[in-house]
Amino acid sequence: MRNILKLGKHAFFAFLIGLLVLLPYITLINTDLHEKAHLKFYKKYEVCGTYSANYLTAIPDFYVKAFKGPTALGKATFCNNISKEKYLSLDSSAKKEINLAGINSDIIFSRVLIIAAIFFASASIAVIIGIKESYQKQIALIYLSFIILWLLVIVFSTEVNILFNLNIQGGDLQLLLHLIECGKNCTGM
């Protein structure tokens, strides 16, 4: 029994360290996919855009921005003012496609993680049923539980990003609504 408790404690600390170290990188990967989705549609409408991720500063950037409030880890920007003007002159359906591309990317990323969590939960049940020895069942249960918990934390993080993009002032949806309201006369974003 002591070995199981010790193993559970080690697995819990591994989970916490993973939370502190891996969550910023996974969030940055999600941001990377989100911004590249915008760029894909920029290209479709011949608008020049740029984005670069800094994986070296992912951990400090993540925690500094977490304490400042909801801000993005990265943002696709226009190459120059001409590109910005070209974007502003697009019709609302094109702007909608560009702005919502990132949110759609987040939703797909979240759904893949949910499917992975369901897969690991199913695998956990199969492994635990298949293992005959009680001690090995407990070890498998501890590790698989933490994997599932990790995936759920990542899903939660992704869902929070989606909500921010839908609701905060600088989010994709709010920006789109602002651009539609001011129409062709929009000069700023």
Angle formed by the axes of helices 2-44 and 134-167, nearest 10°: 30
Q: What pLDDT sits at residue 72?
A: 65
Q: What is the pLDDT of residues 9-18, one digit of tens each?
A: 777 777 788 7
The pTM of the full predicted model, rounded to 2 decimals, is 0.80
Q: What is the pLDDT of residues 105-126, one digit of tens each?
A: 999 998 998 898 888 888 877 7
For the chain, how far is it from start to end, CA to CA, in angstroms? 60
pLDDT bucket at 74, cuts 50 / 70 / 90: confident
Separation of alpha carbons 172 and 109, rounded Å: 17
* b/e code 141-175 from CB counts within 10 Å (16+ = b): bbbbbbbbebbebbbebbeebbebbeeeeebbbee
Minimum mean pLDDT range among 47-51, 63-67, 92-96: 63-67
Average pLDDT over residues 36-40: 94
For the CA atoms of 115, 120, 122, 125, the dihedral, rounded to the nearest 10 degrees, stands at -160
Give the 3-state secondary structure of residue 136.
Answer: helix
- Each domain of the chain, given as residue ranges in start order, spans 2-185
Q: What pLDDT sits at residue 2?
A: 66
Query: Is 39's pLDDT higher than 90?
Result: yes
Q: What pLDDT sits at residue 139?
A: 75
